[in-house]
Chains A and B, each alone.
Chain A
Amino acid sequence: MKTKKIDIAACLGSYGLTINIGFFRYNIRSSLRTVEQSIETLYSDFELTDYETDSQLVDFHVLVDEVWQLRSVFNRQAKFFLDGLAPFNSLPIQHAPAIIEWGMNWCVSSQLNTHLIIHAAVIEKDGFAAVMPAPPGSGKSTLTASLIQEGWRLLSDELTLIDLNTLQVSPFPRPVSLKNESITVIKNRYPNVIFGPISSDTAKGNVCHIRPPSLSVKNQHVNCPIGWFIFPKYQREAKTEFFEFGKAQALMSVAENSFNYSVLGETGFDVLKNVIGKANCFQFKYSNLDEAIKVFSGLPVPQ
């Protein structure tokens, strides 16, 4: 493995560590110990190289470091930078592992228009992708974290990238982000899953990322057509319900969950119309993960 050969901390602290994720190449710099730990744990299956000696053309130059502000007196602060630009306010330094993950997602969702970007988890089985668009709190990450332990391939936990020409999903297999109780649920269910450092008491509660499965990383360049659009909704004590969702309504819901639907204009509409036209669309309410996994394994095969 290339990982062993290079000194991650030294790269992060100097010219940067280059990571290939999907078709993107990031150059990451940080002198924070937690960021180093996080990358060492979560990205060990990815190809990591030294920016100084290796490839010098990358998509995003990312930096997470401590900054000095008045607030630092009470609570040391860290900030995310994309090539000198700081899109977010500083946050307590102990949130650094979450800051870098959020920031890396932001790079893609704010800069890319060659793909239709949907705020959705996406997983693959038997050559077809299941896209799960849903607002935060609908349990899509917990569902994703479970399904990728049950034979599904992780394409992305946050951003579904649909190629405007091929209409296929381009994988972006980043670590899956879990919040609060979901962390314990997944830890208990799948003791082999590897967790990164926890960021406690963020605006979203406790946040922890899990390492993407090795096979998903290995196949990160294999694109895949969309078979299903599934709109999940976690509801405490709810009975598992799974029913078809009208395509027109599905299109509107996906558009609402898209980052650049309006920027793409007519192209965005045509792309959605085509992929939704070919896919099966469902609404899905659940509280029991075992039943949820069963439903997913019995999904009707797309034409």
Chain B
Amino acid sequence: MTSYLIKRVLSGLFTIWLTTIAVTLLIHLVPGDPVQIMYAQSQSTTPEQLEQVRHNLGLDRPIYEQYFIYMSRVLRGDFGTTIRGNQPILSLLLVRLPNTLLLAISSLFITMLVGVTAGFIAAYKRGTWLDAGLMTGAIVGISIPSFWLGLVLIYVFSVQLGWFPVSGTNLRNLFLPALTLGLANAASVSRLTRSSMIEVLSQDYIRTARAKGLAEKFVLMRHALRNSLINVVNMLGLQFTYMMGGAIVVENVFAWNGVGRFAIQSILQRDYPTIQGFILIFAIVVVGVSIVLDVLYAWIDPRINYDS
């Protein structure tokens, strides 16, 4: 277990290290002069000021030097300041990160609840109209754009029924964005659960369990569901990553004050230091959570030999 853990953490660190390189290079891939592009929206900047910014961002140095300067700053927790307003990027991101995590985790919960239940029922009622209905629902669900689903939910529940405020960032407002993001991913989880459950249900030990007269309830819950859940748990890390990606879009629909919404504003303003900070934070969170979930999975599933 320890060696598996070390290996997993090392590969995660490697990924983050590559991200830091990519993030440093990002600004150099911009066609044209990034500093001019960043300040294109504010007319009052003189060439001298632009030169000063270039110098402050270290863009007038060789790339490898820029990388070391950037890294030494990042390691000290200094992600630089925003182009407009000169505010510290790291604290702006960290203030919003809990909101995004809250949204992603709540959505993950909804995805699992709806997806696993639907997939389980469809597999058990395989070949019936219920199965067909659920799986038709799933493929339609996969096809609906999340931002549109969000607008529809706002229209129905906030505008027409008045149950929820239209936007804002607090617990009362969490439900609709979490539902939007959760449902968008529940469809694919339900398909996965269904196929994994069907596979498990055809196994010998299920037949044995039934043959020895075990109540169907026990066969399903104790033998079938548990074993098919292993596949689903294995997907949690990937699903979480999807949630983080999906949150970027959904946060914008609901004006949810998370890092995703902040990132889009930064991209629209072409605030490269902030974009760099966002990508780095996003990578650290995604990699960190994946490691935790992978280790958890290895710990839960007795079949995995983590030392091999």
Partners in one complex: no
Name A residues whose Cβ lies closer than 8 Å to a Cβ of B. none
Name B residues whose Cβ lies closer than 8 Å to a Cβ of A. none
